[in-house]
Chain A
C-alpha cells in the first residue's frame, strides 16, 4: 500500500463544502481554536520552535526551512517587523494559492496570524497578483470577518498581540514573486530584486526586518498548529540519514496538475508522490489515450522530466536527481507525444524573455536571444550550432553560474538545458528537415524581427 492510499487531505478540506470560505465553516472544522490556545499558552519563540521542528519547508518554490528563516530575524528588535505574504503566484502551471484563497481564506489567515505572532510582526501585507480578483474578494471578506471576530486588530483576544493585515494589489509582473522584487514593488518602486545580503530578515521592506512566506506555507502553519508536529512529520519523505544536508520533505502538498491530462486540477497528496501516480490516480491519465512525452515537475522553470523519469518522487530532492532544477511550486504540466519540443521551448523562452526584469544583463540578453534563436529555428532557418549556443546561454545565465541577482534566469535556463540534453535528437532532426540546405552553416546571421514577445 502506498502512503497516498490512506492520506486524508487537510489543506483542501474546505473544497466542496458549502460556504467553506466563511468563518463559521472554518470554526466548525476546528479552525482558529489552535490560534486562540496558542496565544495563551505559547511564547513567540516557542511557536518558532514548533514550526522549526515540524520540518516545514517553504511552498513557494525554493523550499527553504520556514522556521529557520524566522530565526534569522534580529533578536529584541524594537520593531516594526513585517510579514509579507507572497500571493503573486505566477509560475506557469501553478494555481494552488488561488484555490486556497478562494476556497478556505480563513485557513490562510490563521496561518498568517500565527506566523506574525511567532515573528513578532505587527503588520502583514498580502501581495496579491492582479489576475486574482476572486481571491481578492474572498480574502478581503475573510479579513473583515476576522476583524469583527476580534482575531485581527489591537490586542487580539486579550493577548497583548496586535496585527493588521492589508491586501496589496500587484500589476501583472512575474518578478514580483521573487521575495526582494516583491519588497521593492510593495515600496512603490520597480520590482528589481535586491542584492543579498542583507537578507530581508535583516533589512527588508521599508528597511525593517521582514519575513516573506508563501500562501500555502501559511496554510501549512495553521495545520501544524492544529494537528501537531508528529502528524506533520508522519507525512512525506523523511530526511536521508546519509545526507546531513537533507532536511527531508515533510507534510502534505498541493500539486497542480494541468496540460494534457483528462482531469486537470489541484490535488493534495503527501510530498513525494510520483508524477506517474498523479497522472493516473488523480488526472484520469493522459488525455485522448495518448502517451507522455515530457512532464514539467514544478512549474516551467524547473525543466523537464522524460517518460522514463516519471517514477521520480516529487519531493524537494527528487526532481534534482533527474537533472531538473527542483520541486519548485509542484505544478505538474503533462505534455503529450504530439507536441514538438521546439514549440515547448519557444513557449518557455517567450515567457522568460517577457518576464525578465531587465536589471542583469545576462538575463535580459540571454532570455531575449534564446527567444530570437527559437523564433529563427521555427521559421526554418535553424542551424545545428544554435543548439550549442542555446546550451551555452543556459549554462551561463543565473544565480548558480553567478551572473545574476535573482533566480529568474536559472528558471529560464533549466527548460533550455533540459530540452536540449534530453531531446537533442528531435531538435537536430527538426533543424535538418526545416533547413536542409543551411543547417550546417556557422556564419553570423541576423535575428528575425520578433513579433510575439509583447
Chain B
C-alpha cells in the first residue's frame, strides 16, 4: 500500500492516523486530513484526494465533495508561500479594509484572489476574521495584522520580499 502513495508522506499518514481515536467514524477525519495535506503542500491535488479516500475507506468523490465545499482548499496549484486574508466584511470595510486590499494587490501586482507569479504571496479577500476591534485587519499565516494602514501594508509586503513586483 505504502508504495502506491505518491503524494501523502508517511509522516502525513501517521499524523492523520494519530487522530483516528478521537472520532467514531473514519469520515470525520476528512477535514483534519485535508488540513494536514494542505498545510504542507499548500494545495490538495486530486491524487491526494484519492489517497486520503483510500486511507479513510471512502469514495474519492466523498472527499472531493467535502473539499470543494470549503473554498479554503486549493487544488490545481498551490497558494503562495504566504497566504494573506484581508477582511472586507462590514467592520473592516467601514474603516478602510477594501482600500487596504486594493493597495496591497496593486503593490504586489496582482488581483484579489491571485498569487504573485513568483509564488511569494497570495492575497485574498476574506469575510469577517473576528478581529473587528483591530479593523481593518489581515491574517497572514498565523499572524494577525491589526489596524492596517498603507504604511503597514507596505512594510508587510517588504517583510515577505514582495514590493513593486
Chain A residues proximal to chain B, CB less than 8 Å? 80, 89-95, 97-98, 123, 129-134, 164, 166, 168-174, 185-191, 206, 256-260, 264-266, 296, 300, 331, 333, 335, 339, 344, 347-348, 350-351, 354-355, 357, 454
Which of A91, A173, A256 touches B70 (beta carbons < 8 Å)? A173
User: How far apart are the CA atoms of A265 and B135 in the complex, in Å?
Assistant: 10
Contact A131 B28 (CB under 8 A): no
Question: Which B69-114 residues sit within 8 Å CB-CB of chain A?
Answer: 69-73, 85, 88-91, 93-95, 113
Q: Look across to chain A and name the residue whose beta carbon is closest to the beta carbon of B147.
A: A264
Asked whether any CB of chain A lies closer than 8 Å to the CB of B144, the reply is yes
Contact A131 B85 (CB under 8 A): yes
Contact A296 B130 (CB under 8 A): no
User: How far apart are the CA atoms of A188 and B27 in the complex, in Å?
Assistant: 5
Contact B132 A173 (CB under 8 A): no
Q: Look across to chain B and name the residue whose beta carbon is closest to the beta carbon of A166.
A: B22
Chain B residues proximal to chain A, CB less than 8 Å? 22-25, 27-32, 34-35, 56, 62, 65-66, 69-73, 85, 88-91, 93-95, 113, 126-135, 139, 142, 144
User: How far apart are the CA atoms of A377 and B36 in the complex, in Å?
Assistant: 43
Contact B29 A188 (CB under 8 A): yes
Contact B93 A187 (CB under 8 A): no
User: How far apart are the CA atoms of A278 and B138 in the complex, in Å?
Assistant: 26
Chain B residues within 8 Å of A348, by CB: 90
Q: A258-B91, A259-B94 are in contact. List 15 more A-B contacts (CB 8 A).
A: A93-B90, A95-B130, A131-B130, A166-B22, A171-B34, A171-B35, A173-B69, A173-B72, A188-B56, A189-B27, A189-B62, A259-B135, A264-B133, A347-B90, A357-B69
Contact A331 B94 (CB under 8 A): no
- Indicate whether A335 sits within 8 Å of B94 (C-beta atoms), given known contacts A166-B22, A172-B70, A206-B24: yes
The CB with the most chain A CB atoms within 10 A, among B56, B94, B133, is that of: B94
Which of A91, A94, A168, A454 touches B32 (beta carbons < 8 Å)? A168
Q: Look across to chain A and name the residue whose beta carbon is closest to the beta carbon of B134.
A: A264
Chain B residues within 8 Å of A92, by CB: 89-91, 127-128, 132
Contact B28 A188 (CB under 8 A): yes
Chain B residues within 8 Å of A454, by CB: 71, 113
Contact B71 A93 (CB under 8 A): no
Chain A nearest CB from B118 CB (Å) reads: 23
Contact A259 B95 (CB under 8 A): yes
Which of B31, B73, B85, B88 touches A168 (beta carbons < 8 Å)? B31
Contact B144 A296 (CB under 8 A): no
User: How far apart are the CA atoms of A137 and B127 in the complex, in Å?
Assistant: 22
User: How far apart are the CA atoms of A190 and B128 in the complex, in Å?
Assistant: 21
Q: Look across to chain B and name the residue whose beta carbon is closest to the beta carbon of A354.
A: B127
Which of A90, A129, A134, A256 touches B142 (beta carbons < 8 Å)? A134
Q: Could you give 7 example pairs across A and B, Cβ below 8 Å?
A: A80-B24, A95-B130, A185-B31, A206-B24, A259-B91, A296-B90, A339-B94
Chain B residues within 8 Å of A260, by CB: 94-95
